[in-house]
Structure 1
């Protein structure tokens, strides 16, 4: 099964998310549980969630992915920011518990000059306080492009966090193709080599999802500007290789490409489906 989706707005509720995903030809999707810039989430409407669960079951959706707000920074130098990150993640995991087989993705954070090692300890510390072996939702660390003081720019930094997490069965990784290419992993010319390196350092069993985005920037630029599929420096051929690779093809793929409306996502989903072998 080819699970392909996109990032949808949560402004209209859970059932609306499912209907919107169907309208663009998706069989999974990603969404923010609250504003990407933070703040409180809307009250949880369990009737609305159940309507989404019906759509998921009837249409064989899987791997619904929630994305944490960008302001979540577990390795901030400010106590209140770290406290906010922990409170948000705990609340979001609770919300996602009502959607079976769900995933929850977050940016590891920025160490703002404190250094990677203290940041890794803080991130892992938060995860050890939040993760419960009985939860269903798997929490994913997103690979980052490496701009500024971002943590997670290398597979080694991702693994350093994972090895400190106690409930390892509930922690995983989400690749972002734009990010890893901008970070210096050459998925265009050496996809097999990048996969092998990730497997050696982290383990492919920890890779649960892929954000599938082209890049506006050249290789190893350490920036983070997504582009539409086939219109950036990564190129369509690489994405065809990724979605068909025997070690990646079983994963869910989520578009985060810049679009003016959902029609753009529908076109990209159709493009990727037409290139699935």
Structure 2
């Protein structure tokens, strides 16, 4: 932390990728559900979709997971970049199910109906029916934490308030926190501020809601673009490297990271040790 800054009072956490291993959880769910569908004799299974899915490997489903994640990033960035939106606010849950249908269609795993019946009433030609696609989109509510996440949060709770600050909506975050037994002191979502990171509305809104000045807040993330935005809004920053999570390696050396936890260290546990030394707790 900069020596001129006041003692931090709260840590705000990115969640997807920083606290949880979304890639392993989502890939495994897609692969497992595909194998179940391929083993089913349900009449609505479309032969075209079955043939394509039958040739897909676990790695192929990992590419679907990444495409899904990339769509989420594009969606949230577009909303964040518009300070005066005219469209109603859409949650990440709403986006996720729409995005999944688009991805499945693009990969030949879902064929739109030709008649006038809506998808909620009757099944498109697909590997899954509409209800199963919706259920599959909820996988983001049940992601597995990194091995150091839960114990590290408990250590950090001894020194600070610990607050989620994710683009995931509140229902999603509450389910995920409960599923992973992540004992944050507060659950905040970009949904509370009707925008998405990296909009200043989210960082400044979160600080104000907790009754803090930005300089009393710290953003913890595995993504340098998130930390750069938080820093520009007055937060201090902690970078926790996670496998395959950094989207902008060219930002390394940008000078906006105050505490750096490297890949070979123990994530949030190491972050707690380094922050304890800095604040003298």
TM-score (norm 1): 0.25
More helix by share: 2
Asked which structure has the greater RCO (Cα within 8 Å, sep 6+), the reply is 2
Q: Which has the larger radius of gyration?
A: 2
TM-score (norm 2): 0.24
